[in-house]
């Protein structure tokens, strides 16, 4: 098969050939993490920042895996429920990992893990002012996304559905509106349960998809990593190819002329032409 190449995804001066961003949490082992990342084809991986236990020096750590794989590392502020702790976490991450990239999460409450819009706006403004390249996790509210982009976010990352819920893109209309309203890359972040969810997000025109639990929580994470990669590429290609319009009635693929005698419906019963177009505008 002839090689097909896409434009790279450009974020904060970085070019990514893979549009899948993958988290490093919840795998069964470091080996599984490493293999899943490799199979997913990702070039940017997320990590969390946590207290370092005294004397917890394992032979090989996540840092080694990330470095050996040559991944761009995107630290997150997961677990922060106010702007101040998210900003502190971002500063620590920058010092630790020597990157200005930060996946900003300011969460509202532990049950839904939905982003808190007020804290998210405040932390975005603060971090952009400190020179961070802020990739901001947000709800799928289009106007909020506009404010975040106006504040200087490098990427706006609406949740498809709550983190780890595996429910896919619950409000495709809003995600589409966000993509129309902001000029920075829109990455669907969170809620992806399976490969078709990734494909749906990419078909909508998302610049990329960020996921973690969808792979790590699968029965076979390594096979799911492959599936997510394929879903991402398929969705991206379908978006660029331009899907057909949705119609209410059928639209024959084979010629309607030249049928043998007495075959086919009478011309009077045919619902051909523009009459078959979707009357309610589903497309």
Assess 57 for contact with other proteins (CB under 8 A): yes
Residue 103 among the catalytic residues: yes
Assess 33 for contact with other proteins (CB under 8 A): yes
Distance, in Å, from the CA atom of 221 to the CA atom of 231, rounded to the nearest integer, reads 15
Among 9, 27, 166, 169, binds other proteins (CB under 8 A): 27
Distance, in Å, from the CA atom of 246 to the CA atom of 226, rounded to the nearest integer, reads 30
Binding to other proteins (CB under 8 A) within 93-132 occurs at 93, 95-97
Minimal CA–CA distance to 160: which of 118, 120, 231, 211?
Answer: 211
Count the site residues for other proteins by CB under 8 A: 39
**Beta-carbon contacts of residue 101 (< 8 Å; ≥ 6 apart):** 12, 14, 72, 73, 74, 75, 132, 133, 135, 154
Assess 48 for contact with other proteins (CB under 8 A): yes
Closer to other proteins at the Cβ: 155 or 177? 155
Candidates 103, 133, 275, 277; catalytic one: 103
Q: How far is the CB of 225 from other proteins (least distance, A)?
A: 14
Distance, in Å, from the CA atom of 92 to the CA atom of 80, rounded to the nearest integer, reads 13
**Beta-carbon contacts of residue 206 (< 8 Å; ≥ 6 apart):** 175, 179, 186, 187, 188
Assess 184 for contact with other proteins (CB under 8 A): no
* Phi (first) and psi of residue 78, to 5 degrees: -55, 145
Q: How far is the CB of 198 from other proteins (least distance, A)?
A: 14
- From the list 12-20, 89-97, 253-261, 275-283, the region that binds other proteins by CB under 8 A is 89-97
Distance, in Å, from the CA atom of 128 to the CA atom of 111, rounded to the nearest integer, reads 28
Closer to other proteins at the Cβ: 97 or 146? 97
Assess 46 for contact with other proteins (CB under 8 A): yes
Closer to other proteins at the Cβ: 85 or 196? 85
Q: 138: which strand partners?
A: 158
- For binding to other proteins (CB under 8 A), which residues are involved? 23-27, 33, 46-55, 57, 61-63, 66, 73, 75-76, 78, 88, 91-93, 95-97, 163-164, 190, 210-213
Q: Which residues are catalytic?
A: 103
């Amino acid at each position: 098969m002839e090689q097909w190449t896409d434009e790279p995804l450009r974020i904060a001066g970085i070019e990514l050939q893979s549009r899948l961003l993958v988290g490093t949490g919840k795998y069964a082992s470091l080996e599984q993490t490493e293999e899943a990342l490799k199979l997913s084809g990702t070039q940017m991986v997320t990590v969390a920042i946590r207290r370092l236990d005294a004397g917890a020096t394992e032979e090989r750590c996540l840092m080694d895996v990330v470095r050996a794989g040559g991944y761009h590392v995107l630290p997150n502020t997961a677990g922060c429920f106010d702007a101040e702790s998210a900003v502190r976490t971002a500063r620590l991450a920058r010092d630790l990992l020597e990157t200005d990239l930060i996946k900003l999460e300011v969460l509202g409450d532990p049950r839904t893990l939905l982003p808190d819009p007020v804290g998210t706006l405040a932390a975005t403004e603060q971090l952009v002012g400190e020179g961070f390249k802020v990739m901001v996790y947000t709800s799928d509210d289009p106007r909020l996304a506009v404010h975040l982009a106006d504040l200087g976010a490098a990427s706006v990352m609406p949740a498809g559905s709550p983190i780890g819920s595996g429910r896919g893109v619950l409000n495709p209309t809003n995600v589409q509106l966000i993509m129309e309203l902001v000029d920075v890359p829109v990455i669907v972040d969170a809620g992806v349960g399976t490969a078709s969810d990734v494909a749906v997000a990419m078909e909508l025109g998302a610049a990329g998809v960020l996921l973690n639990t969808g792979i790590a929580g699968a029965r076979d994470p390594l096979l799911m990593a492959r599936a997510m990669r394929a879903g991402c590429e398929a969705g991206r290609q379908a978006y660029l190819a331009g899907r057909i319009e949705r119609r209410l009635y059928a639209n024959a693929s084979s010629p309607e002329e030249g049928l043998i005698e007495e075959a086919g419906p009478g011309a009077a019963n045919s619902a051909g032409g523009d009459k078959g177009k979707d009357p309610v505008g589903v497309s």
